[in-house]
Amino acid sequence: MAIPAAAGVLVVLLAWLAGPGLLGIGNDVLGAPVQAEVTKPAPCDRADAKETVKFTVAGKAHEGTLDGCGHGQGERVEVAVPDVLPDQGPAVVHAADTSMGASDARRPLGLALLVFACFSGGMFVYLWLSIPLRPRTAS
């Protein structure tokens, strides 16, 4: 019983030390959130719908393309603007509330599920090894 328990504790400890990338959780910040106005909405009938938005950063107006659909003309949306904006052409922006790392509750939940999986595996090994081997009786 001690070996499966120690193996489970070791797996959980190594997962904790490996960081959030192990559980598929990234802390990538896509840029600063900025209020933008939709200038060219896109219908949601295509998979690659892109809308055109305009926003202001440091007093200068910029245009960007947003991967999204369903917004109305002139609707205000919050977008994540990259740190470096291009001099020519539109910048690629993302919806600010859908960026990776927006929910910090995923790491503890992932670790709790990992602990439960280690416990379940350890109990399976314990029960498998504790079954006595009984020969079949001849009839």
Most confident of 37-46, 112-121, 129-138: 37-46
Which residue type does 66 have?
L
Token reading at 116: 């439960």
Compare 105 and 134 and report the one with higher pLDDT.
134
Whether 102 has a pLDDT exceeding 50, the answer reads no
**Cβ neighbours of residue 60 under 8 Å, at least 6 residues apart?**
none
Whether 71 has a pLDDT exceeding 70, the answer reads yes
Q: What is the mean pLDDT of the chain?
A: 79
Model-wide pTM > 0.75: no
DSSP code of 71?
P
The model's confidence at residue 95, banded by pLDDT at 50, 70 and 90, is confident
53, containing H or E segment: strand 50-57
pLDDT at res. 38: 92
How many Cα neighbours within 13 Å face the side chain of 86?
Answer: 9
* Total residues belonging to the chain: 139
